[in-house]
Amino acid sequence: MTKLLLRWAAAVALFLLACACRAQPGVLVLGPSGQAIEPQEVWASVADRKVTIEDAARGKLPLRPQSIHTVFDLNASNALWVQLRVQPTASQAWVLELPMPTLDQVTLWQRDATGRWVAARTGDTVPVSQWPESGRYPFFRLQLPPGQVTDLFVEVRYPLPVSLPMRVVTTNSHDYRTQLEFLGLGMALGALAMLLAIACYRAWRLRDGAYALFAAHALVSALAVAAFTGVGGQWLWPGAGAWIDASPGCLAILGAGFALLIVERLAAFDRRHRLLGLALRAGGLAGPVLAIAYLFTERRAGVVALGAYVLVVALLAITSAALTWRRGDPVGRWMAAGSVPLAASVLLAIARVYNWIEASWVTEYAVVMALTLDLPTLQAALNSRSRERRSAQLRQLASSSQDALTGLLKAGPFFARLRQAIDRFERTGESSAVAVIELANYALIKQNLGNEVAEESLLRGVIRLRKIVRDVDTTGRIGEARFGLVLEGMHSRDAVRQVATRLIAWGLMPDEESPGAPVLQFHVSALLVPELHGADPVAALLATLRAMSPGTRKPFRFADPHGTPPDSVASDGLASAPGPAPATQSV
């Protein structure tokens, strides 16, 4: 019986010894290779925020081994305690990283040379200026004696359930990774800044409110990217602890509201989708209100409201893009190209917040990549819509200055161009020539073949005229069958004569595209601007044309402006010069 009791006592002692051995965390060996180490299992416990480091060090916390991917149920009244035992095998400097910029507060406890526990704090609610070393996310440089086992305690405060990303890397690896991250973020933020500058310029240059709205959206989106990635807290507002904590959600809501207002302008829904248009506008205008309310809302409720609002924005944007694309509007394709990735990134972010998926670089930078893609596509859609609007405005302006039948300038704008050419010669000495062209057999064609054939003949004449003149020359319709022509840079009569004779000869040639169409008999009168000396060119040119008989053998003549009597035809402010009957020169 005694032997049996001794055996039971020995078994119990061995069991208790084994439990005591298992009650200690495993040692994380930091090898000489310097590779990043991500512990797959940590000793952790969720406790009240009143717990101190002395309680944790004395074993008063129910620490137990848990997977690093465990979702810890944190809230505003508790904290997560993690114990690490590390042993470096080489004299290298090591860094503990928690690459999650949105953590509220992270405290690392490690002993100093005297054995006293020393705290180092980082996190959203701690101004970056008070961190041991500024950064985008919490990290700590470890003081580890080579070859010795060192206990570390990490206290994490966060108002939402979280799975804690954690890794131990060498200082060189940490610095290299930081440089790569800043390179990528710098490229993304630089692209957003370039889009912002382009939008501001176009808003000022085109006086277009849509580009001003896009500029505001681009600015807020760039700030939101900076806030989400920790760049804002490190460089833009390092001393504002409360704003560092609230800025990601606040700016995300504000940016989503601006995006809805832009989508509402791009979609331009008619009465058939009037309710959707009103929903877009109401949702967009609600953005600033919700952004302000987010600042004063408890974090857990605020994150739920943020996720719901951004999800609604994404659904409205996708619906608008689909309907716009369905009606054949090319803007719809650009809207869809930006809305779908943004919606996917929002879903990833929500899933990451609620720990439905594990953290990775994809979940961390999904919103950044989606915004970087969404803004250029929105700007492309705005450019397309702006081109359509400007084209309609140009057509409206053209209808007031261009002849509806021929597409040439009307008489008033043509005479204004002629006056500019004369003024330019008087200022700079730049020479030009002016001519009046008449389709001499237009009345005969109209009388014998009807109005339709006469108009077709007029259009054929315009086509041939346009093929002869240059882009810098000005043409206009100044009568039923008369055209005005300003030839820029003409210094001699020979050059003008060549243009006129080509037009006359081409008009007499049969039209290959319209067999049987009547030939076009052009009469042309011209003069050089340097020959005017203050006289009215239009009166002289019209008088010269009237002096030609319908069957004249000299269909081109130079007019003498100083021998021309006053003409009764209006010349739009160009005064008629008195004088005797016109003297003409023939070809």
Backbone angles phi, psi at 553, to 5 degrees: -90, 0
Q: What pLDDT does 20 receive? A: 43
As a whole number of angstroms, the distance between CA 75 and CA 43 comes to 20
Burial of 484 (0-12, 13-18, 19+ CB in 10 A): buried
Taking only the tens place, the pLDDT of each residue in 83-136 is 999 999 877 899 999 998 889 999 999 998 888 999 999 998 999 889 999 999
Give the total residue count for the chain.
Answer: 587
Architecture of domain 189-393: Up-down Bundle (1.20)
Q: Which two tokens stand for residue 351?
A: 């899933």
Residues 6+ apart with CB under 8 A from 355: 71, 161, 162, 163
As a whole number of angstroms, the distance between CA 464 and CA 468 comes to 7
As a whole number of angstroms, the distance between CA 550 and CA 553 comes to 9
Q: What pLDDT does 585 receive? A: 35
Q: What pLDDT does 24 receive? A: 62
Angle of helix 299-326 relative to helix 241-267, nearest 10 degrees?
20
pLDDT 10s per residue in the chain (587 long)?
565 555 555 555 544 444 444 456 788 888 777 677 888 888 999 999 999 999 999 888 889 999 888 888 899 899 999 999 999 987 789 999 999 888 999 999 999 888 899 999 999 899 988 999 999 999 999 989 888 999 999 999 999 888 888 999 999 999 999 999 999 899 989 999 999 999 999 999 888 889 999 999 999 999 998 998 899 999 999 988 789 999 988 998 999 999 999 999 998 887 678 899 999 999 999 999 999 999 999 988 888 888 888 889 989 999 999 999 988 888 999 999 888 887 888 788 777 766 677 766 566 667 667 777 788 899 999 998 888 877 766 666 666 678 878 888 888 888 988 999 888 888 888 889 999 999 999 999 888 988 899 889 889 988 888 888 888 898 999 988 999 999 998 888 999 999 999 999 988 888 777 777 898 999 999 999 988 877 788 888 888 888 898 888 899 999 877 664 433 333 333 433 333 333 333 33
Assess contact for 300 and 255: CB atoms under 8 A: no
Assess contact for 381 and 335: CB atoms under 8 A: yes
> Any idea which residue has 């250029």 for tokens?
376
Q: What pLDDT does 515 receive? A: 78
Specify the DSSP element, H or E, that contains 381. helix 361-401
Q: What pLDDT does 3 receive? A: 56
Beta-sheet strand order (sheet of 139-142):
139-142, 94-97, 167-170
Assess contact for 221 and 375: CB atoms under 8 A: yes
In the CATH scheme, what is the code of domain 25-171?
2.60.40.2380
Q: What pLDDT does 565 receive? A: 44
Distances (CA, A) of 32 to 40, 140, 146, 215, 289: 20, 20, 11, 51, 55
Q: Which two tokens stand for residue 577?
A: 């010069």
Q: Where would I find the beta strands (DSSP E) of 462-529?
A: 474-477, 482-488, 522-528
Which residues pair with residue 46 across a beta bridge? 80
As a whole number of angstroms, the distance between CA 382 and CA 435 comes to 44
Q: Which two tokens stand for residue 153?
A: 């305690």
Taking only the tens place, the pLDDT of each residue in 68-83 is 888 888 998 999 999 9
Distances (CA, A) of 283 to 112, 258, 277, 503: 54, 9, 10, 63
- The angle at the Cα of 416, spanning 415 to 422, to the nearest 5 degrees, equals 90
As a whole number of angstroms, the distance between CA 256 and CA 275 comes to 19
Q: Where would I find the beta strands (DSSP E) of 403-442?
A: 432-439
Assess contact for 477 and 403: CB atoms under 8 A: yes
Would the CA dihedral through 387, 390, 391, 392 be positive or negative? positive
Beta-sheet strand order (sheet of 482-488):
474-477, 482-488, 432-439, 522-528, 556-559, 584-586
Distances (CA, A) of 11 to 1, 4, 19: 15, 11, 12
Q: Where are the domains of the chain?
A: 25-171, 189-393, 411-586
Q: What pLDDT does 89 receive? A: 83
Distances (CA, A) of 28 to 112, 143, 147, 148, 497: 20, 15, 12, 11, 97
Which residues pair with residue 460 across a beta bridge? none
Assess contact for 505 and 544: CB atoms under 8 A: no
As a whole number of angstroms, the distance between CA 296 and CA 530 comes to 77
Q: Which two tokens stand for residue 370?
A: 């989606």
This prediction has a pTM of 0.69
DSSP per-residue codes, 282-349? HHHHHHHHHHHHHHTS-HHHHHHHHHHHHHHHHHHHHHHHHHHHHTT-THHHHHHHHHHHHHHHHHHH
Kindly give the residue spans of alpha helices, DSSP state H, lying in 451-492: 451-468
As a whole number of angstroms, the distance between CA 66 and CA 17 comes to 22
Specify the DSSP element, H or E, that contains 111. strand 105-111
Residues 6+ apart with CB under 8 A from 250: 291, 292, 294, 295
As a whole number of angstroms, the distance between CA 285 and CA 254 comes to 9
As a whole number of angstroms, the distance between CA 182 and CA 54 comes to 38
CATH 3.30.70.270 given to domain 411-586? yes
